[in-house]
A and B are shown apart, each in its own frame.
Chain A
Amino acid sequence: MKQQVQSPWRVARQKLMRDPAAIVGLVFVSIIVLAGLLAPIIAPMDPNAQVLEFLNQPPGFRGEVIHFRYQPELPLQMVAVREVKEFGERIEYTDRLNRTFTLHRNQLIGKTQKEWVSNHRYWLGTDNFGRDVLSRLLYGARISLMVGISASTLSLIVGLLLGAVAGYYGGWRETIIMRFTDIMFGFPTLLFLIGITAAFEPSLFVVFMAIGFVTWPGMARLMRGQVMSVKEREFVKAAKVLGFSKWHILWKHVVPNCLAPVIVAYTLGIAGAIMAEASLSFLGLGAQPPISSWGAMISTGKDFLRLAPWISMAPGIAIAITVFGFNLLGDGLRDALDPTMKE
């Protein structure tokens, strides 16, 4: 019988697709990615739009809001209303304190009453500024994924480069790189992150750079170990005999064969980076208001825990789902990419 040789990547993909835990992870990750990508379309409201009359309202709350601008250059106003009456060009609305105000038609946003007055359902309630928690949650997925993926990628690039060089060339290059990673490992991760972000003006860019900087040594150690074991294999020796340059052998023959555990570490690294961003934003060292980072949302909710627990409940669940998803996916990839694991 003719035996078909399958590429290891394809075998891995098939194994992954047969692992129920990995599928669950993939589904969770996809949900969060979709939520982030589609946030502008599916979010019921602008995540930063405030209706001050509606602050700290519970999930399921419904309220009517009129949208207008006093002057074209002034910011959009959203005011809770009880009643709206049209008198030709003049519009009268009654607010929640039964005061009546008059606006001109061209101050309103939209053409008909259906457009300028909207009836909102706040599925997850509102926060302390009367913003829609659900919309903020959906936009928060963008922040988490953006920081998580970019920071983990930064760590991957730096760690892979330095780890590969250290493992392949050895000598003084290895000594310098590995001693430096030893020092980096001397700091507890979160504390190191806090220290770095505290030294700069807090922003998401600083958070991204800090996470990348703090996590690359782990990647470098992993990569170095891999390269050291792969470079002793026959095909590498064959390439040497054929006279390829060291640089060519390293990147064309050694590194591609080191990638399986690196991919696993990268996936788990995203989970770690998302958690780190949330922690820093929770401490006020990450995303600054009004950015709807999940960690920052939990931090806001902390001060209203008794009054409006939903503000911090929802983003915590969102973080848990995201991290859970990436963890399951990473575990699944580890099993799928491990050739010694039999089904």
Chain B
Amino acid sequence: MGKYILNRILQTIPVLLGVIVITFILMYIVPGDPVQSMVGERYDEATVERLRQELHMDDPIIMQFFRYIWNILHGDFGVSFYTGESVSAQIMAKFPNTMILALTAMVVAIFVGLFVGIISSLKPGSWLDKGTMFFALIGISAPVFWVGLMLVLFVGVYLRWLPPTGFGGIEYVILPAITLGLRSAAYLARLTRASMLEVLDQQYIRTARMKGLPEWKVVLKHAFPNTLVPVITVIGTDFGSYLSGAVLTESIFGWPGLGRLALDAILKRDFPVIQGTVLFMAIMFILANLVVDILYGVVDPRIRAERKTEKTK
């Protein structure tokens, strides 16, 4: 087990390095001179020259790259062109908000998704099943940002049940969490239903029924736990992408998280902030996937064995 985990962690390192290289290249090929955008229309040559020196812009690219990696390893993502604030401080200030939203959205997705999936798997082909699966497919097909806007309009503006946008108490997190979690919920519902149907067909379920267990016990104690592996995949990867900033949801609801930070930076073309946030989010995403993979091994011994044989091949 320890070896499996160590292996997975080691595999992450080249990916992380690659991600750093790509973010670096992406910002390097950006058209336009960052110094120009810092100083604006009116500038004198001396200032430009001084800034270029300070930012080490005239160094060879390879030097710049190593300096970049060195700084990242020290948690230094540079400073914003506009505010002069440290990028890592900004990221750390916004990250808890993104975390709150991601966790709430995940709770919504898990409860709704599993509940709907189990219910519709119990009577496959019934109207309840068809209806919920139809809605699940719509949930997957409707654009997140549009669903968010409609929630703002109907729940926030027309019905006035919840504040349409903003940040503050618990009432502010509900609509963004539903918006963000809806897609995962729909996806989870479909997945749970499919794997429940598969499991409910197995011998040991028939045995459980035959020995006279009540149906709810059969479903919850014997069938449901065996559907968890695919469910963990979805929860893990989706949570990873939630953590990496729900750009669309945050921009609609004015939620002050990482996604908003990144989007604002993009609109202002504040490159150190873009670079820092994108890199940070990618790292969060990779770590979330790593945790999921390790969890797999914990939950399902078969996967551990599979990985082992794959390696020896």
**Partner among B18, B30, B150, B247 whose Cβ is within 8 Å of the Cβ of A183:** B18
Report whether A316 and B146 are in contact in the complex, using a CB–CB cutoff of 8 Å: yes
Chain B residue at smallest Cβ distance from A179 = B14
List B contacts of A305 (CB < 8 A): 149, 152-153, 157
In the complex, B286 has a CB within 8 A of chain A? yes
How far is the CB of A108 from the nearest CB of chain B, in Å?
41
Residues of A within 8 A of B245 (CB): 188, 191
A316 and B266 within 8 A (CB): no
Interchain CB contact under 8 A, B15 and A182: yes
Measured CA separation A195–B19 after assembly (Å): 12
- A101 partner residues in chain B, CB cutoff 8 A: none
Which of B141, B147, B149 meets A302, CB within 8 Å?
B149
Given A305-B157, A319-B143, do A283 and B263 touch, yes or no (CB 8 Å)? Answer: yes
Q: Could you tell me if A316 and B143 are in contact, using CB atoms closer than 8 angstroms?
A: yes
Q: Taking A183-B15, A188-B240, A309-B153 as contacts, is the C-beta distance between A298 and B145 under 8 angstroms?
A: yes
> B262 interface residue, CB < 8 Å from A?
yes
Shortest Cβ distance from residue A297 to the other chain B in the assembled complex, whole angstroms? 10
Known contacts being A190-B247, A190-B248, is A327 close to B145, with CB within 8 Å?
no
Which residue of A has the minimal Cβ distance to B22? A183
Is A186 interfacial (CB 8 A cutoff)?
A: yes
Asked if A275 is at the interface of the complex by the 8 Å CB criterion, the answer is: yes
> Would A201 and B16 be within 8 Å (CB), given that A279-B248, A324-B141, A327-B137 are in contact?
no
Residues of A within 8 A of B16 (CB): 186
A180 B149 Cβ-Cβ under 8 A: no
A-B contact count (CB 8 A): 127
CB < 8 Å neighbour of B26 from A183, A196, A282, A284 = A196
Which residues of chain B have C-beta atoms less than 8 A from A190's C-beta?
241, 247-248
> Complex Cα distance A191/B14, Å?
20
- Is A336 interfacial (CB-CB < 8 Å)? no
Q: Which of A183, A187, A316 contacts B142 (CB 8 A)?
A: A316
Are A195 and B137 interface neighbours, CB within 8 A?
Answer: no
Chain B interface residue count, CB cutoff 8 Å, equals 46
Q: Does B252 contact A (CB under 8 A)?
A: yes
User: A-facing mask of B10-33, CB < 8 A → 1, else 0?
Assistant: 000011101100110011011100
Which of B35-43, B66-74, B277-285 lies on the face that meets chain A?
B277-285
Alpha-carbon distance A312/B149, docked complex (angstroms): 8
In the complex, which residues of chain A have a beta carbon less than 8 angstroms from the beta carbon of B170? none
Q: Mark A187-215, 1 if CB is under 8 A from B, else 0.
A: 11111101110111100000000000000
Instruction: Flag if A186 contacts B285 (CB, 8 Å).
Output: yes
* Of A195, A301, A320, the contact of B141 (CB 8 Å cutoff): A320
Contact A182 B18 (CB under 8 A): yes
Q: Give the contacts of A270-314 with B (CB-CB under 8 A).
A: 271, 275, 278-279, 282-285, 295, 298, 301-302, 305-306, 309, 312-313
Q: Does B62 contact A (CB under 8 A)?
A: no
Q: A190-B247, A194-B263, A298-B149 are in contact. Are A200 and B31 (CB under 8 A)?
A: yes
> C-beta contact mask, B227-268 vs A, less than 8 Å → 1, else 0?
000000000000011001101100110000000001100110
**Contact of A195 with B267 in the complex, beta carbons under 8 Å:** no
Q: Are B18 and A188 in contact (CB under 8 A)?
A: no
- The one of B137, B146, B150, B282 in contact with A319, judged by C-beta atoms closer than 8 angstroms, is B146
User: Is the Cβ of A195 less than 8 Å from the Cβ of B278?
Assistant: yes
Residue of B nearest to A196 (CB): B26
Given A179-B14, A187-B22, A282-B145, 18 additional A-B pairs, CB 8 A: A180-B18, A182-B14, A185-B15, A186-B16, A186-B19, A186-B282, A187-B278, A191-B245, A191-B281, A192-B282, A194-B266, A200-B31, A271-B141, A279-B248, A283-B248, A305-B157, A312-B146, A319-B141
Which residues in B have some Cβ–Cβ distance to A below 8 Å? 14-16, 18-19, 22-23, 26-27, 29-31, 137-138, 140-147, 149-150, 152-153, 157, 240-241, 244-245, 247-248, 251-252, 262-263, 266-267, 269, 274, 278, 281-282, 285-286
| The 6 nearest A-B residue pairs measured at CB | A183-B18, A316-B146, A324-B141, A323-B141, A198-B266, A320-B142
Residues of A bordering B, CB below 8 Å: 179-180, 182-183, 185-192, 194-196, 198-201, 271, 275, 278-279, 282-285, 295, 298, 301-302, 305-306, 309, 312-313, 315-316, 319-321, 323-324, 327-328
